[in-house]
Structure 1
């Protein structure tokens, strides 16, 4: 079943579509992080301001160097020792759609531990956009049952995994790191 869902989601993403999918945190809306048109569909669906950036998911930390000009060494340690899912905001974004890059040139990156996400990203050979499955300004859904109908109806594919999991999920911890290794918490 997991392999089938990865295949279906991959086909939708390859064709420029957007998906609703489970992650290691809350449910996300995603697409190919290099496809500006697909990214704009997500901004439109979420009614989100363009200056509010979204994150990219990677399957392994070794790929960070493909999308960040200078990955501080401490970033690998933070990921390795984080007790909860950790999103790192780092400057020097590259090789992704300009629609994802903040005005200061940074991008938020999370190395996912969710089996579906890992397999999909591996198959895509590109990062997966991830943003909470809600209309901008509304609370993030803590499980699938809390996702608004307009979000479910607005995506091109809803992944059929973990929909019945009613456990309460929380967004990731977010930290900003500069090239020297200095870091600060944005969201704990």
Structure 2
């Protein structure tokens, strides 16, 4: 049975953040708010937790397109190959914000992602998410949670999310109502930025 922890974005309680992070460090799965939709995540360094996330999404871990959620751009070089100045300027302008940027991965990627040439990077404009990642000390692997309902693609009510996921994950963070529009995905691995999915982020960056 998952824990249900309420946090306020203006001022997330450090004590509650520590509680959430302890669960993540122990290999737990977390559902948390972002600046777009609610997402499912785990510690990027925990293979067993990564396997569980992949299983819940019904995908093979090595083929999964999970995003890495970072606190800011300072961890970028941990997982991303050297990027040029114009790419960095785009990232600097857009982040934190509702974007997922696909960038060339480097050799430091966790073992399960070693075969991947690219990695999706997120720095959400949400204090709760960033406080969790800061306290954890490394990125969380993340994937949006979809709804089974054909009409509503993403559930925005954390209490309904908890009802659905309480037996599948270890903690649900209630950060208030979420959005129902996912992040804008932009591929920055080529010569020109390439729009993969239009979402909440503006295309003028």
Are 1:27 and 2:38 counterparts?
yes
Aligned match of 2:112:
99
1:112-153 Cα distance to aligned partner (Å, 9 max, x none): 221011111111110111101237997641413563844342
TM-score normalised by L of structure 2: 0.77
Q: Once the 2 structures are TM-superposed, how far is the Cα of residue 156 of structure 1 from its aligned partner?
A: 0.7
> Which residue number in structure 2 is paired with residue 175 of structure 1?
186
2:168 matches 1:154 = yes
Shift of the 46–152 alpha-carbon distance from structure 1 to 2, 3 Å rule, reads: farther
Give the 3-state SS of the residue equivalent to 1:126 in structure 2.
coil
1:90 is matched with 103
- Superposed CA RMSD in Å reads 2.7
Cα pair 2:27 2:42 within 8 Å, conserved: yes
Residue number among 128, 143, 147 corresponding to 1:116 in the alignment = 128
Unmatched 5+ residue regions in structure 2?
1-6, 199-205
Corresponding residue for 1:5? 16
Aligned length in residues: 183
Whole-angstrom CA distance in 2 between matches of 1:152 and 1:134 = 15
Following superposition, the deviation at residue 173 of structure 1 comes to 0.7
CA 134–148 in structure 1, closer or farther in 2 if over 3 Å, else same:
farther
| Local SS of the residue matching 1:37 | helix
Select the residue among 122, 140, 144 that pairs with 1:132.
144
| Aligned equivalent of 1:53 | 65
Which of 128-137 and 103-112 deviates more? Answer: 128-137
Q: Could you say which structure has the larger radius of gyration?
A: 2
Deviation string, structure 1 residues 64-121 (Cα, Å, up to 9, x no partner):
11111223323332233339511111122443423345x5421100112210111111
SS at match of 1:11: helix
Q: Which runs of 4+ in 1 moved over 4 A?
A: 135-140
CA separation in 1, counterparts of 2:117 and 2:47? 16
Q: Report the CA distance shift for 1:158/1:100 in structure 2 as closer, same or farther (over 3 A).
A: farther
